[in-house]
Amino acid sequence: MKVAVQGASGFVGSRLIERLHLGGMADVVPIVRTHGSLSRIARFDLDWRLADGLDGDALTEAFKGCDVAFLSVAGPEPFILGSPAATIRAARRAGVSRVVYLSTAVTLGFNPGPGTDDDTPPVTDQPWTYNRAKARAENLIDDLRHETGVEVVVLRPSIVYGPRSLSWTTALAQRLLWRTAFVVDGGANVCNAVYVDNLVDAMWLAATVPGAANQQFFVADRERVTWADMYRPIAEAVGVPTSEIHSIDRAEVGTLLTPPSGVSARISRQVRSERARRLASKLPDEAMQRFRRLRGAWRPAADGVRPGARDFLSTVPDVELLVQICDTQLPIAKAERILGYQPIPFAEGARRSAAWVTSMGFVADVFAPG
């Protein structure tokens, strides 16, 4: 089987290529937008191709001879909304019979309600741009299936961790080393984690299992994983005690989020910005005190908290806070039943992630020499 991988240079795409190529499972055709994206792919002797994800003609040319196309890309809203149509129509023109589309579990929000399953419709009126765009993209895909006759399988992972994960492995290690690691509610909330190898195995099954056609699946590790579970192996790997991880209450998260819009939001963003902090540091003491009070007005300190040690929380991206307020473990029963999905245990995924962190030199003594 010959497969095309769009988003070949990314965290998931590059691991998919690595696994398919080293496993001898398929002839892989990596597709990248620019030469600059070739560093991971160029480790192998592969027939890579250049194509922009919105350029239907270039994609058609790149897909020639392929049986399956994987679409695993990230980008701004217009790209998220435009790339499925470009890919699926190009697939039809090139004779590709199936497209595997990597969506996300946050199409159902950061904290989907109890009873959520794989067939729950995506929520398209969410206030968060990425979630909303991915939800709308799923709906567009439904139309494109009918229009083109191409089989499309949609996978919805949530927190994808593992080697090269910038958001959920590298960032955790860096936060630990910089003493800016934090959990909500003591780390007891659900983290719908999926080890990257489990995800790429699910992608391969989605490409090859006949019964998967035109279905959507949650993909996650089997265990109920918490945020404390996520941090623990990384903390051990970098040599930072878990007691150094800050904990905040769920109720406090709302005060840390960027206000959504309007004049008030613009003022808030300016006051909270790094540039404002730098400018303020040059003010006389009295003016500095006033500035600090103004910043404080937008980010009330929690009781019993050393303000200095937690100042970083005002700069944490909203998504990092919101994903930690989740009570629902997403089901993988459908993936197990139809795809034959059999994830490796979380403990093994965590061990491999920690091994990668150590291998990359994320260790405390480099940050605190002597």
Q: List residues near another protein by CB under 8 A.
A: 14, 18-19, 22-24, 34-46, 162-164, 166, 170, 197, 352-353, 355-356, 359-362, 366-367, 369-370
Cβ proximity to another protein: between 231 and 362 the closer is 362
Residue found by looking up tokens 């190529």 in the block? 21
- Please state, in angstroms and rounded to a whole number, the distance separating the CA atoms of residues 260 and 113: 23
What type of residue is 48? W
- Residue 8's closest CA among 42, 56, 54? 42
- Cβ 127 to another protein, closest distance in Å? 28
Cβ proximity to another protein: between 6 and 170 the closer is 170
The answer to whether the CB of 154 falls within 8 A of the CB of 216 is yes
**Longest distance between any two alpha carbons in the chain, whole Å:** 70
Centre a 10 Å sphere on the Cβ of residue 126 and count the other Cβ atoms it contains.
19
Cβ proximity to another protein: between 288 and 355 the closer is 355
- Please state, in angstroms and rounded to a whole number, the distance separating the CA atoms of residues 277 and 270: 10
Cβ proximity to another protein: between 37 and 192 the closer is 37
User: What does residue 194 show for φ and ψ, rounded to 5 degrees?
Assistant: -140, 125
- Cβ 94 to another protein, closest distance in Å? 23
Q: What does the chain come to in residues?
A: 370
Centre a 10 Å sphere on the Cβ of residue 205 and count the other Cβ atoms it contains.
21
Cβ proximity to another protein: between 126 and 353 the closer is 353
- Cβ 45 to another protein, closest distance in Å? 4
Task: Provide the sign of the torsion angle of the four alpha carbons 12, 16, 22, 27, taken in this order.
Answer: negative
- Cβ 203 to another protein, closest distance in Å? 16
Cβ proximity to another protein: between 217 and 356 the closer is 356
Helix, strand, or coil here: 329?
coil
- Cβ 22 to another protein, closest distance in Å? 4
The answer to whether the CB of 308 falls within 8 A of the CB of 186 is no
- Cβ 356 to another protein, closest distance in Å? 5
- Cβ 75 to another protein, closest distance in Å? 15
Cβ proximity to another protein: between 38 and 280 the closer is 38
